[in-house]
Amino acid sequence: MFMSSLYPAYDVIVVGAGHAGSEAAGASAKMGAKTLLITMNLDDIAKMSCNPAMGGVAKGQLVREIDALGGMSGIVSDGSGVQFRMLNLSKGPAMWSPRCQSDRSLYSKMMREQLEKVDNLHFRQDNVVDILTDESGKTVTGVKTQTGQTFESKSVILTSGTFLNGLIHIGESQYGGGRSGERASVGISAALEKLGFEVGRLKTGTPPRIDGRSIDYSQLEIQYGDDDPNPFSFLTDELPDKDEQLTCWVGYTNNDVHEMLKTGFDRSPMFNGRIQSIGPRYCPSIEDKIDRFSDKNSHQLFLEPEGWDTYEMYLNGFSTSLPEDVQYHALRTIPGFEEAVMLRPGYAIEYDYFPPHQIKRNMETKIVDGLFFGGQINGTTGYEEAACQGLMAGINAALYIDDKEPFILQRSEAYIGVLIDDLINKGTEEPYRMFTSRAEHRILLRQDNADLRLTELGHKIGLVGEERHSRFKKKKEEVDKLHDLVSEYTVRPEKMDPMLEKLGTSTLSQPVKAKSLIPRPEVHLDDLLEADSELKEKVAEITSNRRVLEQVEIQIKYSGYIEREFEMVKELSNKENAHIPEQIDYNKIQSLSSEGQSKLTKIKPETIGQASRISGVSASDISVLMIYLKR
């Protein structure tokens, strides 16, 4: 219920200013909602608690989608990156994923600067301890903080990260905390349980940080950034070239390191039962790796800089909660780390989350109207997964207060759609991480075409501004013109054959359209331009944007796969969009299996397509449900 408040009412209150909270607050405010961002420390907005890096396999696609929709993570990543790499270039473009190593402090500073530029966005340093609702307990009305203040609002977005009842473990030591050096948030979990929410516990961890001056780099492999780095943001025109970027380094554990780590297993909270919750399967601690993969005598490590102006280094691959003395001695057993100085020990952290079957596809909770969840509160891991959920929660909170239709991305439209659909329908008992393998339509969901897929949608809902939209339209026009040119332009054997012979592919017997050569694996659009100066001049008249050339080449080279994928999406769309009434009682549908009844009742899917992806709901259950709905 409302209590009297010193402060004006808001449209949206965002609790937490990590990556989810930053995107949520920015989105709702940009869309016109009067927004209050409440965080325990205004100096830690979008703080990178673990590795200072953005993107990676499938995660890079998420950042580009956030940017295409009008979010801030891509712009801030480009401005604060110290090294940029495109991963998986040896594979097809569906697998290409941008990644950057970030300056930890600069990322946080730039995100705060971006947020402070947004009209309608207000800030408050405080700790939220309670969620306020109307008398029925079914509609949110605001929040209460530890200072005793109440803040009224039409909607609330919770993006609490690892702070909800956070518990840090280092060997046999344990203490409350949201991350190293910061206190946990206590009160929200109990308030949500009181409202009827189911709560669970998850675990994540981080490695020790190293003084980079104490490392013998001659024993490590050097890892450079890309010569021609790709930005995350479609608004970024230029990035530091290879020589201007910082380098990363690769090292390896060995049997001596593993034996030293094993000396602490009896004091490990993972192995002695103090940690009961489940950690991320695909980012295990070093002790978990040597226990699960005992046949391996070496594991790869990445030594990565924390910023332009610091010697602190992040040891990726060495996450641990072992006692500090064991961490120290094992660290100094790694080749190149014999004199290593440990600035901060690694630790594990347990925290509360709320199983995501309790939210709808628009990120609103099913139990309390106007209450939205975003980020690790839904069981995910990673800045990118958190940021995209925050963005969607912010968008939909702004739409909710104006009684507008929710903004939903389908699995065929975005990795963001895949992530949210997976969370709601499949749930998660371990921290959820995005992979390209999770997206069945990944040939359509490439990082290179995120703007072509999503920017018009972002503009339609009022999140994409006119500058971005104008640049997008210009690029799209150039892509269309270049595609037409390459499709219509005739190339001749006398110009093409020397190039084709050099590339080891068959020569021409007659003139052909330029488009017909590009599907050959050996041939790229650049090769045609170098072989035919007239074509090169015509292309230059259309665009000077390298990304436009790349886009057209991908569209042509993989056109067969892309067309087949679109046909598959079309076939599935009717089933996907068939609506299921919210009030349906599955227990009255006698032909459903008992497990089907149970899962459908628990998750309450909104469409037949959503229902078909629920684990435990069989194909026959779907058939029965469709027949029932027709009646």
Q: What is the pLDDT of residue 6?
A: 84
Within-domain flag for 230: yes
- Give the CA distances from residue 395 to residues 66, 87, 149, 380, 411, in Å, rounded to whole numbers and listed in that order: 12, 30, 26, 19, 18
Tokens of 221: 């492999």
- For residue 185, what is the DSSP state? B
Cβ(48)–Cβ(371) below 8 Å: no
Residue 2 pLDDT level (bands cut at 50, 70, 90): very low
What is the average pLDDT across 95-122? 97
Tokens of 274: 């103090």
- Is the domain of 432 the same as that of 516? no
Q: What is the pLDDT of residue 277?
A: 65
Render the burial of 148-182: b for 16+ CB within 10 Å, e for the rest: eebbbbbbbbbbbbbbbbbbbbbbeebeebbbeeb
Q: Which domain holds residue 312?
A: 209-348
Name the percent of the chain lying above pLDDT 90: 75
- Is the domain of 366 the same as that of 277? no
Within-domain flag for 570: no
- Is the domain of 326 the same as that of 358? no
Which of 562, 596, 613 is the last residue in one of the domains?
562
Residue 280 pLDDT level (bands cut at 50, 70, 90): low
Residue 579 DSSP SS3 = strand
- Is the domain of 263 the same as that of 340? yes
- Is the domain of 530 the same as that of 588? no
Within-domain flag for 464: no
Tokens of 500: 């084709």
Cβ(357)–Cβ(424) below 8 Å: yes
- Is the domain of 165 the same as that of 47? yes
- Is the domain of 302 the same as that of 314? yes
Q: Which residues contact 130 (CB under 8 A, 6 or more apart)?
A: 143, 144, 187, 188, 191
Domain harbouring 536, CATH code: 1.10.10.1800
Q: What is the pLDDT of residue 5?
A: 77
625 strand-pairing partners? none
Report CA 463 to chain centroid distance, whole Å.
19
Q: What is the pLDDT of residue 330?
A: 95
HSE value, Cβ hemisphere, 13 Å, CA-based, for 106: 18
Cβ(566)–Cβ(453) below 8 Å: no
Give CA–CA dist 84/240, Å, rounded: 9
Cβ(316)–Cβ(301) below 8 Å: yes
Within-domain flag for 461: no
Residue 282 pLDDT level (bands cut at 50, 70, 90): low
Cβ(222)–Cβ(303) below 8 Å: no
Cβ(348)–Cβ(279) below 8 Å: yes
Report CA 447 to chain centroid distance, whole Å.
13
Q: Are strands 342-344 and 512-513 parallel, antiparallel or unpaired?
A: unpaired
Within-domain flag for 585: yes
**Which pTM does this prediction carry?**
0.92
What is the average pLDDT across 187-207? 92
- Is the domain of 364 the same as that of 244? no
Cβ(95)–Cβ(320) below 8 Å: no
Structural domains counted in the chain = 4
Task: Say whether pLDDT at 391 is over 90.
Answer: yes
Within-domain flag for 466: no
Which of 398, 423, 444 is the last residue in one of the domains?
444
HSE value, Cβ hemisphere, 13 Å, CA-based, for 458: 32
